[in-house]
Amino acid sequence: MSNPYVPVLVLMGIAAVLALGGVGASAVIGPRKYNRAKLDAYECGIEPTPHATGGGRLPIKYYLVAMTFIVFDIEVVFLYPWAVDFTVLAGFGLAAMLVFLALITVPFVYEWRRGGFDWV
């Protein structure tokens, strides 16, 4: 009887060979002509500024969208297995999920108050 981890190890080996092969091939085949323009940071043709134009303050909208994604992702990760084994978990699973849903509403309320769901 063979070890059940052999296919996983073979797949990891193939992934490692492909990753290292790609890096090695780009080092061997890639261009080697460097000049000052290629080594500079790309700034869309605009000269970089040392600080933001609005006095250094960044809009929070991007972070609220990222937090929305993370909260929804965590919610799905925990709700999907619970829904699959709902009959096995019975009362304890229901109580645990109600506590989880109560806790997960905290970031939703925070985002709602901060305007994270206003897409205009």
Residue 118 resides in a domain: no
Q: Which residues, 6+ apart, have CB-to-CB distance to 71 below 8 Å?
A: 104, 107, 108, 111
- In the chain, the number of structural domains is 1
Q: Which domain holds residue 40?
A: 6-113
Residue 40 resides in a domain: yes
Tokens of 65: 């969208």
Percent helix / strand / coil, the chain, rounded to 5: 70, 0, 30
For residue 2, the SS3 value is: coil
Residue 1 resides in a domain: no
Residue 120 resides in a domain: no
96-105 tens-digit pLDDT:
888 988 998 8
What is the Cα gyration radius of the chain?
25
12-29 tens-digit pLDDT:
999 999 999 999 999 899
pTM over 0.85: no
Residue 39 resides in a domain: yes
